[in-house]
Amino acid sequence: MTEVYFLGTGGWVATRERDNTSLLIHQNEKLVLVDCPGSVIQKIKKIDLNPDAIVSVVITHVHPDHIYGLPSLVHSLMLVEGTINLYGKEESIHFCQNLLDLFHLREEKIKCRINFIPLRSGEDFHLLPSLSGSCLDVPHHPSSLAFSFEFKDLNKRLLFSGDTPIHPAIFEEARDIDYLVHECSAPKRYFDLYPILYDIHTNAFDLGRLSQESGVKCLIPCHIFGDLEFSESEIEQELLENYKGRLVFLHDLEKIII
């Protein structure tokens, strides 16, 4: 069985209900973490899994809400013998190395070793015996990548956009895909109020329209902005104006079974 947990589903400001976005893939007692904001260890314990089972960390980009928990993660696992593969664009790799060095977390006494693996857009990589990944550039930040995960035994694919404005390459990659996990920061009217958002994030109306055009089978919105004057049902309704597939609106610590 393969499960994908949503450890967080919120935007750059955590709210009472939603923490910063990160995903956790659980397959055959191994864990792959996608992005590393805070309290990952506690969240993994809350869903009754063992953080020692993390074998890989995948980083979408180096904004604080996606990466600030990395030193704490390594510090928490410092007595756990083993190696964690960390994947990301070259810029992300250097940033993570510097971040860990600030806390002396790459010194010999740290038993949990990090193996840094830089990726280029279009590159495939191997995560678990029946899980592979590939990545593509997205225009949110110079370090940004979106990730496509292929669950080979199950013949299913899941694409995670990371933070991104509407980007045609994502929707080409997402054609007829089983799961699209895409950022959905706010309703369109909020983007019209602050047009700069169109350059860095995605609104619910555009996401619903393009997901429908791409034939996405299951759409999972995340990275929902918090503490602003819109409701989650407004986002949901806006997505459903055009999207006619299966919409799964998850909350923190909920999961899908692939």
Binding site residues, Zn ion, CB under 5 A: 12, 63, 65, 163
We find the least distance from the C-beta atom of residue 113 to Zn ion, in angstroms, to be 28
Considering the complex, what minimum distance in angstroms separates the CB of residue 223 from Zn ion? 6
Indicate the residue among 19 and 65 with the shorter CB distance to Zn ion: 65
Contact 190, 197 (CB under 8 A): yes
**Nearest to Zn ion of 65, 238 (CB atom):** 65
With contact defined as beta carbons under 8 Å apart, do 255 and 6 qualify? Answer: yes
Q: Min. distance of Cβ 205 from Zn ion in angstroms?
A: 20
Strand 156-160 to 2-8 pairing: unpaired
Nearer to Zn ion, 26 or 63 (CB): 63
Cβ-based nearer residue to Zn ion, 18 or 157: 18
Q: What's the min distance (Å) between Cβ of 52 and Zn ion?
A: 27
Contact (CB, 8 A) for 75 and 127: no
124: number of Cβ within 10 Å: 11
> What does the radius of gyration of the chain's CA atoms come to, in whole angstroms?
17
CB distance 230 to 188 below 8 Å = no
